[in-house]
Amino acid sequence: MKLRKIKDLNLKNKRVFLRADLNVPIKEGKIKDDTRIRALLPTLNYIIERGGMPIIASHLGRPKEKDPSLSLKPVADHLKKLTSRKVHFPQEVVGELVEKAVKEMKEGEILLLENTRFESGEKTQDPEFLKKLRALADVYVNDAFGTAHRAEGTTYGLAFLFEERACGFLIEKEVEMLSQLLKNPQNPYIAILGGAKISDKIEVVENIAEKADVLLIGGGMANTFLKAKGYGVGKSLYEEEMIEKAKEIMEKVEKMGKKLFIPEDLLISYERPAIEVKEVLAKEIPENGIVGDIGSKTCENFKVEISKGKTIFWNGPLGIFEEEKFSKGTFEVAKSLSEVDAFKVVGGGESVMAVEKAGISSKITHISTGGGASLEFLGGKILPALEALIL
């Protein structure tokens, strides 16, 4: 997939509509984590340095209509602090205030529109709404990878109205890195798959299963595989309707001559949160037991495979790592990932949290912040926002 890139745009004296992902956690007007705002700075600074005037748009949360608690005002204030530049914030997405601010803004200044989801036209891609946005700028840049899997007004429909359009540096990097997993990955390619459910990410599991040489399955997902093998999983989380699918994947992978590991031992408790945990063999999970982590033998096996990897993809914690007693498998795997010399990609909300908690982020080649978008991309879908930017 070849995308139109920001470096190919002429930005001098241009008004640049910049779709960003500034969907940050805000509590009582305070930003709790500004990672996404800081992540935009390379693209934002590039536009300004090239003489462009950025008009930034983002959604925040899921408002049905105008909701003051989901205003981007705190983000505007924070952008001002981070960039030491004037940030216009006209307090609406479209309308006279916006038009006035766009006219008044000067080179070196920034304009941030209000939460795009305050306008119903964002979801419906209303042509009238898009026309008003189109009139504000000369060129379009999208750097919101996290929403690239949603076809909304500012992520999709609007892009086509601009002759001059491109992706920003964040999208460029995500696509470059994730594409390496899909196209000619160096072997051996190890995929570590865990997390809560298979059904959340069946396309990724199937697609990765075809590409990787070794599949290491843990987390709640493994319980469904254990069921498919005919084992009982007690009171653990598993998905009845996915058992057939799990069987199918195991058979297919075997036919292709790949290795698939499901846990041979596990940590269980009899209550949640776990007070006491016990290690059991996969075939001996008690009827009232709850599986919360992979066992020590499984963990060792996983680590041996990981140490041989040249390409490694990890999505999904291997246990209920939020509970200290069930966190060992996830953190041990994180540690062995940090020690191997390979092309390493971690994706998924909780997985990224686990890597950060383990303190090994700097040892990972690429941490994909896209969540759902990363997983859909790896599932083989052409994400709508990217489709709009294909060269």
DSSP code for 166:
E
Q: Is residue 64 a contact partner of residue 51, using CB atoms and an 8 Å limit?
A: no
Residue 95 annotated among the catalytic residues of the structure: no
- Contact segment (CB under 6 A) with ligand ADP among 8-16, 77-85, 190-198, 300-308 equals 190-198
For residue 36, indicate whether it is catalytic.
Answer: yes
- Establish if 219 lies at the interface with ligand ADP (CB under 6 A): yes
Query: Considering the rule CB under 6 A, would residue 317 count as an interface residue with ligand ADP?
Result: yes
Among 195, 234, 289, 309, binds ligand ADP (CB under 6 A): 195
Instruction: Tell me whether residue 85 is one of the annotated catalytic residues.
Output: no
Q: How far is the CB of 369 from Mg ion (least distance, A)?
A: 13
Please give the helix or strand (H or E) that residue 215 lies within, else none.
strand 214-217
Q: Which of 36, 165, 245, 344 is catalytic?
A: 36
Q: Does 348 bind ligand ADP (CB under 6 A)?
A: yes
Q: What is the DSSP string of 34-73?
A: -HHHHHHHHHHHHHHHTT-EEEEE---S--SS--GGG-SH
Write each residue from 142 to 181 as x if it is in contact with ligand ADP (CB under 6 A), else as -, in one continuous string.
Answer: ----------------------------------------
CB nearer ligand ADP, residue 109 or residue 322? 322
Please tell me whether residue 277 binds ligand ADP under the rule CB under 6 A: no
- 334-363 binders of Mg ion (CB under 5 A): 349-350
CA distance 203 to 206: 5
Query: Hey, how many other C-beta atoms are within 10 angstroms of the C-beta on 77?
Result: 15
The candidate with the shortest Cα–Cα distance to 204, out of 336, 347, 49, is: 347
> Of 90, 319, 370, 384, which one interacts with ligand ADP (CB under 6 A)?
319
Q: Chain-centre distance of CA 140, in angstroms? A: 23
At 32, is the secondary structure helix, strand, or coil? coil
Catalytic pick from 197, 247, 308, 357? 197
Question: Would you count residue 370 as binding ligand ADP (CB under 6 A)?
Answer: no
The reply to whether 1 sits near ligand ADP by the rule CB under 6 A is no
> Dihedral of the CA atoms 168, 173, 176, 179 (nearest 10)?
-100
Q: Reduced to 3 states, what is the DSSP secondary structure of residue 189?
A: strand
Q: Taking CB within 5 to 8 Å according to partner kind, which of Mg ion, ligand ADP, none is near residue 322?
A: ligand ADP
- The answer to the question of residue 305 lying near Mg ion (CB under 5 A) is no
Is residue 265 at the binding interface for ligand ADP, with CB under 6 A as the rule?
no
For residues 37 and 291, which CB has a smaller minimum distance to ligand ADP in the complex? 291
DSSP-derived 3-state class of residue 370? coil
| Count of chain residues binding ligand ADP (CB under 6 A) | 20
* Distances, alpha carbon 123 to alpha carbons 117, 159, 382, in Å: 7, 15, 19
List of residues 6+ apart from 177 with CB closer than 8 A = 345, 365, 366, 368
172 binds Mg ion (CB under 5 A): no
349 in active site: yes
Does 198 sit near ligand ADP (CB under 6 A)? no
Distance CA 263, CA 268 (A): 13
Among 263, 309, 316, 384, binds ligand ADP (CB under 6 A): 316
Q: Which residue of the set 85, 173, 247, 349 is catalytic?
A: 349
Q: 56: burial class by Cβ within 10 Å (0-12, 13-18, 19+)?
A: buried
- Applying CB under 5 A, the residues found at the interface with Mg ion are 349-350
Q: Which residues are part of the catalytic machinery?
A: 36, 197, 349, 372
